[in-house]
Each structure stands twice: as structure tokens, then as C-alpha cells.
Chain A
């Protein structure tokens, strides 16, 4: 079992719809969670972070965290073709290293 798991997709949604991206993690001690967006050929860009159970909203993005279920999700409302990218879930290791553990990423395709 991978430490951070994501469905690789592609996830295809029509323009204007809600895209829901999911991530599960194995380290129960993890406290910090991040979502990165990576366009093809570019480097990852941090778009959301969440530390507490519940929802965190930033514009069209909402991150959801459920530590009991070891589950993190990212919702993108009113999806636009420019949202088409790979979304990486990352979890901070609970050990002393504090390294980020990345999932393999979910490719999102928003069709006009």
C-alpha cells in the first residue's frame, strides 16, 4: 500500500461542473496536508493546505480533511478548461523528518 494514494484518472468533467479529487493516506500521525497543481511540463504549484478536520475554502477551491478516515479531498467549483492539470496530494510525514509524501497525482480534464 502506498503512503498516499490517488486515483490517477483522468477525471473528466464538463466546464462549470464541480470536480472532486480524492486522496487517502496511511500515516495516522500526519497533521498537515497540501494540494499542488501541476500543468504539463511545469513544476508543482501549491494551491491549498489544510491542517484541521473539516472544510477550508479559497475561491473556487475547497479542501476537506477527515483524519479519522485518513481522507483528504479537493473540490473545484465552476471548473474551467484552465483547471485541466494534474493535482498532487501531499502529506507531511509524522516522523522527525517532516518530509512531504506525494501521491501519484490525479489528471483532471475540463471539457468546454
Chain B
């Protein structure tokens, strides 16, 4: 299993602020993902990475950006937060390979006022 860490766990911030949600994993997994999920709603993939310097946009359009400079670290940034960004953001990692399992971090609950 993977140890995946996300910080902060909860964030309340004002409109227009720049924020970075941190995600790190200690298992050396190549693949990492960011999902967005509103309460009671489906998971939506917003970004993914298959390794260092590899990032792709997911199925749901997002104003956020990501980077993958180190294998273990996959931060998500919002340059100017808006109330529409209020949601739960879940990071996950997965060993490369078709049959591998994906493990989730605890999530960051973001509220933009």
C-alpha cells in the first residue's frame, strides 16, 4: 500500500488568493492523479502525471495547474481562487502497469469565500 499525504487537510481562503495544494507519496509510484469531488457527487479527474516532467489534463476542465518535478511530489495550484473552486480535492498514486491499484490520500477540503 502507499503512504500518500495531502496538506492542508482543510483550507478556507478568500477570493483572488493563490493557493497550492500539496500531495506527496513515499512509495516511488510513477503515476499520480488529482480528482475533484463535490459532496455526494462523482469523482472527476482533473490532472494526472505518469512521471517526472509529465502532466496531462483530465476529463474535467479545471483552472488549476500541476507540476511534477520530483517523483514523490505532485502539487496543484490555483492562481486566483474563486467560490466555484470550493470542493474536495483528492490526490492518488498508482504503480505503473495496467493491473495496478490506485491509492488515495486523505483529501483537501477547500472553501473559497
Contact = CB atoms under 8 A, between A and B. Distances in A.
Nearest to B44: A102
Given A43-B90, A44-B90, A88-B43, A51 B99 contact: yes
The DSSP consensus for interface residues of chain A is loop
B98 A98 contact: yes
A52 to B, nearest CB: 11
A100 interface: yes
Contact of A44 (B43, B96, B99): B43
Contact of B43 (A46, A49, A51, A102): A102
Contact of A31 (B33, B39, B98): B98
Interface residues of B, number: 22
A105 B90 CA distance: 16
Given A43-B90, A43-B106, A44-B90, A99 B99 contact: no
Interface in B76-101: 90, 94, 96-101
7 contacts: A31-B98, A31-B99, A34-B101, A43-B107, A46-B102, A98-B97, A98-B100
Interface of B: 31, 33, 39, 42-43, 45, 48, 90, 94, 96-107, 109
